[in-house]
Amino acid sequence: MATPPLHELGAAQAATLLARRELKAEDLVRACLDRVAARDGTIHAFVHLDADAALAQARALDAGPIRGPLHGLPLAVKDLFDTADLPTAYGSAVYAGHRPAADAASVAMCREAGAVLVGKTVTTEFAYFTPGPTANPHNPRHTPGGSSSGSAAAVADRMVPLALGTQTAGSIIRPAAYCGVVGYKPGLGRVMSAGVKSLSPTLDVVGAFGRSVADAALLGAVLTGDLRLLDDHAHGTLRIGLFPSPSWPQADADTQRAWEIATSALARHSDTCQDVAMPQNFDELIQLQKDVMTFEMARSLSHERLHHRAALSPQLVALLDAGMAISGATHQAHLQRTADWRLRIDSLFERHDVLLTPSTTGVAPEGLGATGDPLFCRSWSLLGLPAVHLPFATGAQGLPVGLQLVGRLGEDHKLLAAARRIHERLTR
């Protein structure tokens, strides 16, 4: 079998070669930088790149001992994360040229594990809905999704094997779906968020993009410190709960077809697929997520709201004004309702190991003026459950489509092990 070009190597495969010293970090990083030079004029995934520094990091790694599980792997970082050696603007002109004093905790951990930081990727304005210039690698006339636009696009276009992103509503799962890569959103509280621009402490999660479940799990293991995420075997029969959700009528033909493909393929194996008994009033979680996010974003971005209002997009200003109109007492009631739902939803996992559910309403919409609807992600973000997007099909327009798996809080390792097995069956 012919060896693929270096920039096409997945993270898990490249990590093995690097650890055996069968591949030089400098060669891998150079191949990825060449791919960026060839493609980023079209895709616009990166907002800042430092090729010389990345190559210097790679040469230092080649000259020293193996640093860790990410040794020599090129990594792209969403421009919501502080980086000490690269500008961090949070997707806003307010912070143009801003140079943080220190790395975000997650960035520092990735460097400690041997990752080579190639550059910062485009995020929407403060990770809300106003998009940057990034285009979808499968068709540049279509959105890559957001807010982790550049991270998903860079991995999909083979510019880097791994990238960091964040999710508050649907900002990992949705761009992963639109760009056709694996997106892993850890369970709430599994990854330290220090040094990442805070939007909604109740909802914000740091996560990973890769080209396979194994790739995303490799980065996830470093971020969480949980080596169980590297276990590639789901033990015993999987009990897969089919959860189309109350929003299913808004899924288009492409998502419905992906659902049919998946449920048919999984039914042919020994795993069990059962319809989930839909919790009563589950659809209220969508508005509840919006309310919690709106209240907390308005206060998290108080400095920007008070001192840089004219530099913010009208869409963000409207959100912040709406958030300030929600009282603290109302927000506490929302948080209590959220806590009640988190306890209630846990009972589903007594009967099901994982839940299969849509990631998006359909394939990436045409146009770069919006990033798509996070409808099918909002409830899971509110609940704080771990989730992973699995790409496996193509829609009518030739764009990628897939579904997400959701796991029990605290059981990310079981979710990823199940995701590996299920993804293999869906992509045979």
H or E, element range at 163: strand 162-167
Alpha helices in 270-312 (DSSP H): 284-300, 302-307
Active-site option among 92, 106, 147, 300: 147
Kindly indicate the confidence band of residue 4, based on its pLDDT and cuts at 50, 70 and 90: confident
Percent of the chain predicted with pLDDT > 90? 96
CA distance 19 to 23: 8
Could you give the 3-state DSSP secondary structure of residue 127?
Answer: helix
Whether residue 1 is predicted with pLDDT greater than 80 in this model: the reply is no
- Among the listed ranges 106-115, 128-137, 228-237, 254-263, which one has the minimum average pLDDT value? 228-237
- Amino acid letter, residue 25: A
With b for 16 or more beta-carbon neighbours within 10 A and e for fewer, the 364-392 pattern comes to bbeebeebbbbbbbbbbbbbbbbbbbbbb
Q: Does 78 participate in catalysis according to the annotation? A: yes
pLDDT of the residue at 269: 83
CA distance 343 to 263: 28
Burial category of 17 from C-beta neighbours within 10 Å (exposed 0-12, middle 13-18, buried 19 and up): middle
Q: Is the four-CA dihedral 144, 150, 151, 157 of positive or negative sign?
A: positive
**What is the token pair recorded at 298?**
């308005």
Kindly indicate the confidence band of residue 373, based on its pLDDT and cuts at 50, 70 and 90: very high
Active-site option among 106, 149, 171, 379: 171
Mode of pairing for the β-strands spanning 74-78 and 116-121: parallel
pLDDT of the residue at 2: 64
pLDDT of the residue at 271: 80
Mode of pairing for the β-strands spanning 272-275 and 239-242: parallel
Whether residue 82 is predicted with pLDDT greater than 70 in this model: the reply is yes
Give the start-to-end residue ranges of the domains of the chain.
6-230
pLDDT in tens, 29-65: 999 999 999 999 999 999 999 999 999 999 999 999 9
pLDDT of the residue at 312: 98
- Amino acid letter, residue 40: D
Whether residue 211 is predicted with pLDDT greater than 80 in this model: the reply is yes
CATH number among 3.40.50.12780, 3.30.1440.10, 3.90.1300.10, 3.30.1490.20, domain 6-230: 3.90.1300.10
Q: How far is CA 223 from CA 130, 191, 266, in A?
A: 28, 6, 30
Whether residue 270 is predicted with pLDDT greater than 90 in this model: the reply is no
